Amino acid sequence: MTQMLTSGYWTTAFSHDVFYFSVNLATYFLALGLGSLFSNRFEKPSLRQLAYVIVALNLVCGITIPFLRESIKHFGNNILFPQLVVMCAGLLNGMVIPITLKMGENYRRMSLGLLFFIDYSAATIFALLFTFVFLIPLGYSRTSLLLSLTATGLAALLLLFQKQFTRKDILAFSIVLSVPVGGFFYSGAHVAPKMDRSGIAKITYSEQSHYQKIILTEEEQQDFGDGLGVEHVLYLDGFVQFSSDSEQNYHLCLADIPLLAATHQKRHPSRVLILGGGDGLAARNFLKNPSIKKVTLVELDPSMIRLATHHSILRKYNQDSLRNTRVEVVVADAFRWVNENRKQLRGEFDLIIVDFPAPKNLTLARLFSAEFYRAAFEMLSPGGFISIQAGPSFSFDDPKGMTLSKVTTSILKTIESLGYFAFPYIVTQDNEAFVLATADGTFEMDQFSRKAGIYSKGTMALFCKYDASWVRPEVEINTLNTLKLSTYMMDWFKRAGDKFFYYRGNSLVFLPE
């Protein structure tokens, strides 16, 4: 139980989906072996001794999530803390079977094979319950608490049933029951920082969905008009999905630029595919154009769709785009949906918008792979345009800001490896990069950027900017075999520090529940 809670929680918090599971699992197996060796000290174990080992294991399980939350609060991503929890759980769990086996030596029906069968069966059942029943809607904190209290209660009932429960046991069991409860409430305070880290923002919505932690905040800001204005910020797993102060510029670059590029080529796009974009903001921009007849939006998280469809604040910003009859919302994994529908939807869309979160782990990096792009672009009509959110724009190694980041460059080269023409451009306000791509060899980006005013000295460069002189560093393309993009992304975040994502000082509001 504890190993799954620890690995899942730390992985969700820090976006290393394979690394932490592998390291924690190795530590857990080592601890199981050490626990088995330590059990040799119990030559003739009693039921009470076994019960106390199980109760200690339940205590570790119950305080796992509060302990990890506090360790992250004070020490950040220090892998020693989850290793400590997993080691303690493994040592205790490694003692259970040998002790139980020794106790069962006098029972003919108790065999080593039967005991391991029971243990492995229980682990299998728990793994399924953890994934499909406990984690959603209970979340990590409540699951940890529930499992600890339930198992401790069963241990107490076992001693009572065997008439071995004494008054001395009452204190021990009371501590094991009360400590996880206290830890649960102590670690549950949520305070969100403002975007500029200058103070505290009001949380207007908080949910741990099956896929991510969703936080919507509201903060006051200076307004040139009537004093204090209001800014809303949507966070997904601690990363900014949109800020009401800058989202219009972002979606101008993401949605309007490919629409203008198609118009520049004398095309009249009417069908749009949006992969991601569950907030409905990109769809909003397309619905402003009367030539757009249908927008198909594929979003993984139904909680995000529900929020964007029903929450008054998001509805205000997306102008009820997801309720519009021209918008078809598909709740599905874009990777799977694209591969399942690419043949029947071949050439169906005039514009494709790819608006996924930053490729900070291997799961997300596959959505930026050459294989995924190849499948998705089969749905593009001849001469159509693609716009891709391409991560942070510039390298830290170039103080002049003329060298693109390895993240953006890898996405560019990945698309070009498929035979498409790809061009980088940025949203000037926060230097987020985009890639505009097309198979149309007659498209001249320099000419278009001047006509649209997004070249470096153009009038629109205050919002979106393209510069043909940007330098591309040496990078590898991103494929399903390499998934190199996640490495580039995490390296960039480490260089950026707390500017984009941090835990300390925010009372753990962005950590999974």
Q: Looking at the domain assignment, is residue 204 inside a domain?
A: no
pLDDT at 499 > cutoff 90:
no
Q: Looking at the domain assignment, is residue 510 inside a domain?
A: no
pLDDT tens digits, residue range 53-70? 888 888 888 889 889 888
pLDDT at 96 > cutoff 60:
yes
Residues 235 and 252 in one domain: no
Domain stop point among 224, 240, 256: 240
pLDDT tens digits, residue range 245-271? 889 999 999 999 999 999 999 999 999
CA distance 376 to 239: 26
pLDDT at 108 > cutoff 60:
no
Residues 224 and 330 in one domain: no
Burial level of 213, CB count in 10 A (0-12/13-18/19+)? buried
**Whole-number pLDDT of residue 15:** 65
**Whole-number pLDDT of residue 221:** 72
**Whole-number pLDDT of residue 313:** 95
Active site residue 397: no
Other CB atoms within 10 A of residue 243 CB: 18
pLDDT tens digits, residue range 280-308? 999 999 999 999 999 999 999 999 999 99
Mean pLDDT of the chain: 86
Residues 339 and 435 in one domain: yes
Residues ≥6 apart with Cβ < 8 Å to 492: 391, 392, 396, 405, 406, 407
pLDDT at 356 > cutoff 80:
yes
CA distance 497 to 10: 19
CA distance 111 to 172: 31
CB 189 within 8 A of CB 237: no
Residue 217 corresponds to which amino acid? Answer: T
Q: Looking at the domain assignment, is residue 387 inside a domain?
A: yes
**Whole-number pLDDT of residue 226:** 47
Residue from 323, 257, 312, 313 nearest 284 by CA = 323
Q: Check residue 504 and report its DSSP letter.
A: T
SS3 349: strand
Token pair listed for 391: 């991560």
Over residues 414-427, the mean pLDDT reads 96
Residues 229 and 281 in one domain: no
**Whole-number pLDDT of residue 497:** 67
Who wins on pLDDT, 209 or 224? 209
pLDDT tens digits, residue range 230-239? 899 998 887 8
Range 15-20, long-range pairs (CB < 8 A, 24+ positions): 15/237, 15/360, 15/361, 15/490, 16/361, 16/490, 17/361, 17/362, 17/363, 18/362, 20/79, 20/82
Who wins on pLDDT, 115 or 422? 422
**Whole-number pLDDT of residue 117:** 72
**Whole-number pLDDT of residue 348:** 96
Token pair listed for 24: 């924690």
**Whole-number pLDDT of residue 118:** 67
Residue with tokens 């209970």: 138
SS3 20: helix
Question: Secondary structure of the chain: what % helix, strand, coil (to 5)?
Answer: 50, 20, 30
SS3 215: strand
Residues 309 and 220 in one domain: no
Query: Which member of 169, 237, 279, 355 is catalytic?
Result: 355
Q: Looking at the domain assignment, is residue 139 inside a domain?
A: yes
Residue 217 β-bridge partners? 203, 233
DSSP H or E stretch at residue 350 = strand 349-355
pLDDT at 168 > cutoff 80:
no
Who wins on pLDDT, 202 or 352? 352
CA distance 423 to 407: 14
**Whole-number pLDDT of residue 216:** 94
High-pLDDT (> 70) share of the chain, %: 91
Who wins on pLDDT, 315 or 498? 315
Residues 122 and 103 in one domain: yes
**Whole-number pLDDT of residue 290:** 92
> Which region among 111-115, 422-426, 483-487 has the lowest average model confidence (pLDDT)?
111-115
| Predicted TM-score (pTM) of this structure | 0.84
Token pair listed for 442: 């007659």
Residues 162 and 225 in one domain: no
Q: Looking at the domain assignment, is residue 453 inside a domain?
A: yes
pLDDT tens digits, residue range 436-491? 999 999 999 999 999 999 998 899 988 999 999 999 999 999 999 999 998 999 88
Residues ≥6 apart with Cβ < 8 Å to 380: 347, 349, 350, 352, 386, 439
Terminal CA-CA length for the chain = 17
Residues 250 and 234 in one domain: no
- Highest-confidence segment of 22-31, 355-364, 416-425: 416-425
Burial level of 316, CB count in 10 A (0-12/13-18/19+)? exposed
Residues 301 and 403 in one domain: yes
Residues 345 and 468 in one domain: yes
Residues spanned by the domain of 448: 246-496
**Whole-number pLDDT of residue 224:** 47
Counting Cα atoms < 13 Å in the Cβ hemisphere of 41 gives 9
Who wins on pLDDT, 509 or 52? 52
**Whole-number pLDDT of residue 227:** 47
Residue 455 β-bridge partners? 466
**Whole-number pLDDT of residue 254:** 95
SS3 267: coil
> Which region among 44-48, 145-149, 191-195, 358-362 has the lowest average model confidence (pLDDT)?
191-195
Q: Looking at the domain assignment, is residue 205 inside a domain?
A: no
High-pLDDT (> 90) share of the chain, %: 45
Q: Looking at the domain assignment, is residue 203 inside a domain?
A: no
Who wins on pLDDT, 338 or 491? 338
What is the pLDDT confidence band of residue 128, given thresholds at 50, 70 and 90? confident
Domain CATH number, residue 386: 3.40.50.150
**Whole-number pLDDT of residue 309:** 97
Residues 137 and 285 in one domain: no
Residue 359 β-bridge partners? none
Token pair listed for 33: 């072996």
Burial level of 298, CB count in 10 A (0-12/13-18/19+)? buried
Q: Check residue 132 and report its DSSP letter.
A: I
Residues 68 and 164 in one domain: yes
Who wins on pLDDT, 3 or 260? 260
pLDDT at 502 > cutoff 60:
no
pLDDT at 273 > cutoff 80:
yes
Q: Looking at the domain assignment, is residue 181 inside a domain?
A: yes
Domains held by the chain: number? 3
